[in-house]
Chain A
Amino acid sequence: MPHAVVVGAGLGGLRAAESLRGQGIDVTVIGDEVYLPYNRPPLSKEALKGGVDVDGLYFRRKFDDIDWRLGAAATGCSLAERVVTVDDSAYTFDGLVIASGIRPRHLPVPGIQPPVLRTVHDARALRDRLTPGTSLLVVGAGFIGCEVAATARQLGCEVTVTAYDSEPMLRPLGPELGAAMKAHHEAHGVTFHLGQGVKEFHADGVTLADGTRLTADVVIEAVGSVPNVEWLHGNDLDLVDGVLTDNLMRVVQPAKGDGSAGTTAGPTDVPVVAVGDVARFPNPRFDDVPRRIEHWNLPTETGKRAGQTLGALLKGEEPTGDFRPMPAFWSDQYDFSLQSYGEPALGTPTLVDGEWSGDCIVEYLRDGDVIGVVGVNRTKDLMHYRKEIGQEAVDSA
């Protein structure tokens, strides 16, 4: 019986492990957190508001014969020897799943690094400090920063948000919807300092590039992410931004560049796949550019696909099929429920229904085609886009 090792016990690792186990393959999952896989999105929303109880966040698990090695961080890996190391222990494998996700980025500026939000531990530590009347400074105005700001206001905290970008959630939403969301936050009492980078961190706040000093009881940093790939170094993989894979989530090795024979880019000799936030893969629904996507639905989509791919490779078969997942995300801030399909960040926003300042639907166009959509409080009206965006490319394939 072939044996697969999965590194990373998040949603992507879970889905890949279950797909493999369902094919009769023995699976060991190595995860550095002490918990079985749990749901992260509530950590900035409901769970942060209500108190962070991990028992309510665990994913359901379909098999009880998957071997979970938790509290164990993979420290190295040799694809040639088919072994993953965890400190002094070695886990050999026939096939490997890379599911190690991302971690929050820190700004490279001097001073005391503020805490971040990715894990149950982070959320608990933050929740303990968000008592009514406490002042909170959020550095970063992406989705997680904005969600924390909204939740903290609902908990009775004074909230300030600062970011380098000129509007919150600028890259995924565009300037108009970003400005509208900023106005919603301001109406709920949030203060913004945008368009300025942080020059220095202090125990009680930050100094911005223009010298403005912002102080708060609690500071949190939410400025993007770094893929967890250090444990893969030394295997000649393309780790420029996550792990490069082909369209079926099989890890590819770049051309060696020394001109010797057999040095073109191609799949690794060893069966290896990658899933979830750490995987950079091309999606022909949009184009052939490999991208990482940090949306919740992708670990499930890529996990199931990668499970099939690795299952075929372990049987000595060539993986087949076609994979064109539809990225989808949501974000809840106060009474505003944002939902999206496709790749809005790649297009130019166009309001097609409602008002920027209220409930609305915004399409994002690239070369005249709708490549993404965002709706504010329009869940049901948005659903047909899930079937339509990029469908021409799918139908003509």
Chain B
Amino acid sequence: MKIYVDMDQCQHYGQCTFEAPTVFQLNDDGKLEYVGEVDAALAEQVEAAADVCPMQAITVEA
């Protein structure tokens, strides 16, 4: 599945990192880094991450 984060929207709150830590991470500067394409086995985690993003910046495509 494909993941896209609108970096104009993202405020680097890091809430997504709690739900899908292998996909979303804050780097040393506190900026979001993420993996753009992941295995469907992670679908539930990625969906949960998109749900908790306060800026609703995460798009998920199956």
Residues of A whose CB lies within 8 Å of any CB of B are 15, 39, 41, 59-60, 62, 296-297, 300, 328, 330, 332, 337, 339, 379-380, 383, 386
Contact = CB atoms under 8 A, between A and B. Distances in A.
A380 B32 CA distance: 10
Contacts of B12: 379
Contact of B18 (A60, A62, A379, A386): A386
Interface of B: 11-15, 17-18, 26, 30, 47, 50-52, 54, 56, 59
A62 B51 CA distance: 10
A379 B14 CA distance: 8
A339 B26 CA distance: 15
A330 B13 contact: yes
Among A41, A337, A379, find the residue whose CB has the most chain B CB atoms closer than 10 A.
A379
Nearest to B47: A62
Contacts of A337: 11
A59 B50 CA distance: 10
Given A332-B11, A337-B11, A383 B17 contact: yes
B58 to A, nearest CB: 9
Contacts of A39: 54, 56
Contact of B13 (A59, A62, A339): A339
A41 B57 CA distance: 14
Which 5 interchain pairs have the tightest Cβ spacing? A380-B30, A380-B26, A300-B51, A379-B30, A39-B56
B44 to A, nearest CB: 11
Nearest to B58: A60
A25 B30 CA distance: 41
Contacts of B54: 39, 41, 296-297, 330
Contacts of A41: 54
B15 A15 contact: no
A296 B11 CA distance: 15
Nearest to A15: B51
B26 A379 contact: yes
26 contacts: A15-B51, A39-B54, A39-B56, A59-B56, A60-B56, A60-B59, A296-B54, A297-B15, A297-B52, A297-B54, A300-B51, A300-B52, A330-B11, A330-B13, A330-B54, A332-B11, A339-B13, A379-B12, A379-B13, A379-B14, A379-B30, A380-B30, A383-B14, A383-B18, A383-B26, A386-B18
A330 B18 CA distance: 16
A300 B47 CA distance: 12
Nearest to B28: A380
Contacts of A339: 13
Contacts of B14: 379-380, 383
A59 B59 CA distance: 11
Which of A15, A62, A339, A383 counts the most chain B CB atoms within 10 A? A383
A385 to B, nearest CB: 12
B23 to A, nearest CB: 16
B54 to A, nearest CB: 6
Contacts of B26: 379-380, 383
B56 to A, nearest CB: 6
A386 B52 CA distance: 14
A60 B51 CA distance: 8
A41 B47 CA distance: 21
Most buried by B among A15, A62, A328, A380: A380
A328 B54 CA distance: 11
Given A379-B26, A383-B17, A386-B18, A60 B50 contact: yes
* Chain B CB within 10 Å, residue with most, of A41, A328, A332: A328
A339 B11 CA distance: 12
A166 B14 CA distance: 33
Nearest to A328: B15
Contacts of A330: 11, 13, 54
Contacts of A297: 15, 52, 54
Nearest to A381: B30
Contacts of B51: 15, 300
A15 B51 CA distance: 9
Nearest to B18: A386
Given A297-B54, A300-B52, A330-B13, 10 more contacts: A39-B54, A41-B54, A62-B47, A296-B54, A297-B52, A330-B54, A332-B11, A379-B26, A380-B30, A383-B14
